[in-house]
Structure 1
Amino acid sequence: MINFLSYLCIGVGIVFWFWGTFPLMGDRSVLFKLHSLSVADTLGSMSIIVGLLLKIPSEWPLLILALISLAIWNTVLGYVLAYCSSSDEDSHE
């Protein structure tokens, strides 16, 4: 049962990875494309890590650290991208 759940989480993660690439081919803005890609990649990566956590519970400290790092890194990256893309030139000085 644990193996099934582990493979299911890993499979869902891979689906999220591929699902995040489809908006790249659309006619939306670059920021929308980046947002869609980063959200899908984050969810996919976290799902894969949870699958690995179920598969290899002896490595839980490193896998929990990876989950926390993914959550923090992608949140900060979103704020940096939003700041860099702001159209107000005076705010960058």
Structure 2
Amino acid sequence: MINVLSYICIFIGIIFWFWGTSFLLGKRSLLFKLHTLSVSDTLGSISIVFGLLLQRPREWPLLILGIICLAMWNTMLGYVLAYCSSNGGKDD
């Protein structure tokens, strides 16, 4: 049962990866595309690492650290992208 749940999490992660990539072909703004791609990649990667955690429970400290790093770095990247795309709080 754990193997099936693990494979489902990995499959869901791959679906998130492809779903986020599919928005790159649209006609929306570049920032919308980057936001969608970063959110879907984060969720997909966390889902895949969680599936690996179910497969290898003895490696939980390293995999939990990976999940935390994914969540923190991708969140910070989103804030940096948003700040760089704005005028930095300056009114021109």
TM-score (norm 2): 0.94
Pairwise CA RMSD of aligned residues? 1.4
Q: Deviations along 1:11-67, whole A, 9 cap, x unmatched?
A: 000010001111100000000000000010000000000000000001000000000
C-alpha distance in 1 between matches for 2:51 and 2:73: 20
Residue 34 of structure 1 aligns with which residue?
34
Tell me the equivalent position of 1:65.
65
Unaligned segments of structure 1, at least 5 residues = none
Cα distance in 2 for partners of 1:2, 1:49 equals: 14
Alpha-carbon separation, structure 2, partners of 1:43 and 1:58: 23
Q: How far apart are residue 90 of structure 1 and its match? A: 4.0
The alignment covers a number of residue pairs equal to 91
User: Match of 2:87, SS?
Assistant: coil
Runs of 4+ in structure 1 over 3 Å off: 87-91
Structure 2 unpaired stretches of 5+: none
Percent of aligned positions with the same letter in both sequences? Answer: 69
